[in-house]
Structure 1
Amino acid sequence: MGPAWLWLLGAGILASVYCQPFPAHGDKSVGVSQTHSGQFSESAPAYHKVTPAITDFALRLYKQLAAETPGNILFSPVSISTTLALLSLGARADTSTQILEGLGFNLTETLQADIHRGFQSLIHTLDLPSPKLELKVGNSLFLDKQLKPRQQFLDSIRELYGAFAFSANFTDSATTGRRINEYVRKQTYGQVADCLQEFAEDTLMVLLNFIFFKAKWKHPFDRYQTQKQASFFVDERTTLRIPMMHQKEMHRFLYDQEMACTVLQIEYSGNARTLLVLPDSGKMQQVEASLQPETLRKWSQLFLPR
């Protein structure tokens, strides 16, 4: 993906959904990206306008979640940023500006139209068919029947974000909930069920984003090399006995002495990879605090096959 890291899935999730009640293709756009000399190249994909901001947003959000909620954290930066950018299309001027600036975009340097075209390009790129992996990223709106959205808004979200709008009756929360859950279940081939449990009484809209990802490892793990009772250290005092996979294979790997962590990149068949960061004992907070977009770019240049 070039110098910008494209964040799709957090923590190696295979099938997940981001469902949030509030109080996925159009023309192929060509944008601009900054070269090392500071100039811009007209041949770069339009998503280069948004991927640096998504990377920065991913790290900022992770640090905030880690500080507020100790424990397991799982989220998709692409899902959240795409959903909020879509929402900004239907917001008033001040709110739209606040949403996009909250995502990390500098609106004095980047036009809002270029941001939306960047997300359009990103969604189109992710949706390109591949014989080696399957990826579905989609957005949908369920609007209460009393809402009358402007046709321009509906046309824009469909063209730029591939999002479809459905009329719903939120006074019948049970029926609407089943309808939304069934929609997500079908889109994710039955892997995600009952994503939305209930609605607040004043709910008028549900903005939905789903992800389905399935791929095989480029170097598959041998199931006979799985130790069924290996020790997994949750923290200094807690150990679990769980199945652990093992393999001896060539992967891109490094040890960052300054950040005190081991970094391993494992490839899937197709254009996808997972990045595993393992802090040294007692160094979790240090690694979290030090993570920056520049860190990821540095690692990409220092990886060696081992």
Structure 2
Amino acid sequence: MASTVSLACRTRMMWPVWLWLLVAEVLLPIHCHPHGEKSLGVPQPASHQLLEPAPTYHKVTPTITNFALRLYKQLAEEVPGNILFSPVSLSSILALLSLGAPADTQIQILESLGFNLTETPAADVHRGFQSLLHTLDLPSPKLELKVGHSLFLDRQLKPQQRFLDSAKELYGALAFSANFTDAAATGRQINDLVKKQTYGQVVDSLPEFGPDTVMVLLNYIFFKAKWKHPFDRYQTRKQESFSRDQRTALRIPMMQQKEMHRFLYDQEASCTVLQIEYSGTALLLLVLPDPGKMQQVEAALQPETLRRWSQRFLPSLLDLHLPRFSISASYNLEEILPLIGLGNMFDMETDLSGIMGQLNRTVSRVSHKAAVDMNEKGTEASAASGLLSQPVPLNMTSVPHTHAHFNRPFLLLLWEVTTQSLLFLGKVVNPAAV
């Protein structure tokens, strides 16, 4: 980490702050439907596939998942505590940025995200993000999900109209004029927008910047869903033990319930995996490593592992103990992204003149802030999900484990089911951290 920080510091000394990307998001899960039939990775029935062509978001969602797992593993090496970020937010804002780059730089950014541009040309990648963002933003009475992009451009700039049109058409990005010579006022303007769009859950998300800033590219995501069968708050134990590590135990509120959940134990990865459904088209995976096996589970986090889990879940009456927690995480990702292949974005010779005409600017800050609040609250949903689960194989036997006690660090993966997109990925090491 030391060498990475020093490299970033040298870069900032050599080149002024010109362009910042800010990603702010908030995750507010409330609770789940334990008898539902949604399942990750399950195809639509054949009759449905014959009636409708495959949506274009399927051209980007597998790559977003791969990118998320790569970034998570890098963060796990660098960050000792809680981890939380939104793969959809970060990948979409980086893809949007590539629109303002010439062809070779756009190729570098998209390939660094993991796209095979021979199989999926850049134009199809952008159309895939357009389809994904449009679908996620569709109104739903059961699921509150907002994704948005904004550009704050210095009022003295004359941005390229072609870029502004493409950014609005493909990513729904709105452009605002800003006075960066008054850094304090502009910072309040941007932070107020994030606070408003996330209902006050993400505040003061923008680091300080100076009058040499010319553009801020902003993304926010807000998610809120309710469990059909909420935890009974009167059964929550206020002072349960949570072993943060072998030496430290915390006293935290622990929610409890006995319900049917889709559940498995992965002997190969040494972990328990629980699938909890929300009302609406979302589900949550909670991964509980065996004691001392967190690094082994993290190493096993691969797309094929997720697919294997989705095929092996079985319904089981589960005695579930789950922490009630509220955590947040902030990162300056310009120190992390180069380690997974996105270093060209911070190269002094990177050309983003497609955004700002004759000006040649580089990215010097990628700020990312996320928050999650999980508690007992919830209301009964009025309609069932239209997505069918994969039938349980006839040769599968019942799962012998009936107890899941999340009293040590665990992983969370929150999915939107229709698009098969990974909205949030994180690790809870300290449920008491704010």
- Using the size of structure 2 for normalisation, the TM-score is 0.61
Which residue in 1 is equivalent to 2:28? 14
1:127 aligns with 2:137: yes
Which residue in 2 is equivalent to 1:171? 181
Q: Distance in 1 between matches of 2:70 and 2:278?
A: 27
1:115 aligns with 2:129: no
Amino acid at match of 1:251: H
Deviation at 1:147, TM superposition (A): 2.2
Which residue in 1 is equivalent to 2:58? 48
Change (3 A) 1:279 1:200: farther
Change (3 A) 1:69 1:200: farther
Q: Is there any run of 5+ residues in structure 2 with no aligned partner, and where? A: 1-25, 30-42, 317-434
Question: Structure 1, residues 97-156: CA drift from partner, whole Å, max 9, x if none?
Answer: 111011000111111110000000000110111111111011111111222211111011
Which residue in 1 is equivalent to 2:68? 58
Q: Distance in 2 between matches of 1:13 and 1:134?
A: 10
Change (3 A) 1:252 1:200: farther
* C-alpha RMSD of matched pairs (Å): 1.9
Q: Distance in 2 between matches of 1:208 and 1:139?
A: 6
Secondary structure of the residue aligned to 1:122 is helix
Amino acid at match of 1:249: E
Which residue in 2 is equivalent to 1:194? 204
Which residue in 2 is equivalent to 1:6? none
1:241 aligns with one of 225, 234, 251: 251
Contact 2:182-2:211 at 8 Å conserved across structures: no
Secondary structure of the residue aligned to 2:81 is coil
Which residue in 2 is equivalent to 1:29? none
Q: Distance in 1 between matches of 2:238 and 2:79?
A: 30
Q: Distance in 1 between matches of 2:263 and 2:210?
A: 47
Secondary structure of the residue aligned to 2:93 is helix
Amino acid at match of 2:129: F
Q: Distance in 1 between matches of 2:88 and 2:98?
A: 15
Amino acid at match of 2:74: Q
Deviation at 1:192, TM superposition (A): 2.0
**Greater Rg over alpha carbons, structure:** 2
After TM superposition, the structure 1 stretch with the greater mean CA deviation from structure 2, 215-224 or 259-268, is 215-224
Question: Structure 1, residues 262-290: CA drift from partner, whole Å, max 9, x if none?
Answer: 00011111111111001111111111111
Deviation at 1:200, TM superposition (A): 4.3
> Which stretches of structure 1, 4 residues or more, deviate above 6 A after TM superposition?
none
Secondary structure of the residue aligned to 1:58 is helix
Structure with greater proportional strand content: 2
1:93 aligns with one of 74, 84, 103: 103
Amino acid at match of 1:194: D
- Using the size of structure 1 for normalisation, the TM-score is 0.86
Q: Distance in 2 between matches of 1:59 and 1:111?
A: 23
Which residue in 2 is equivalent to 1:26? none
After TM superposition, the structure 1 stretch with the greater mean CA deviation from structure 2, 272-281 or 200-209, is 200-209
Which residue in 1 is equivalent to 2:86? 76
Amino acid at match of 1:193: V
Amino acid at match of 2:198: T
Which residue in 1 is equivalent to 2:148? 138
Q: Distance in 2 between matches of 1:50 and 1:285?
A: 28
Change (3 A) 1:283 1:201: farther
Amino acid at match of 1:147: L
Q: Is there any run of 5+ residues in structure 1 with no aligned partner, and where? A: 1-11, 16-33
Amino acid at match of 1:14: L
2:172 aligns with one of 148, 162, 176: 162
Q: Distance in 1 between matches of 2:252 and 2:77?
A: 27
Deviation at 1:201, TM superposition (A): 4.8
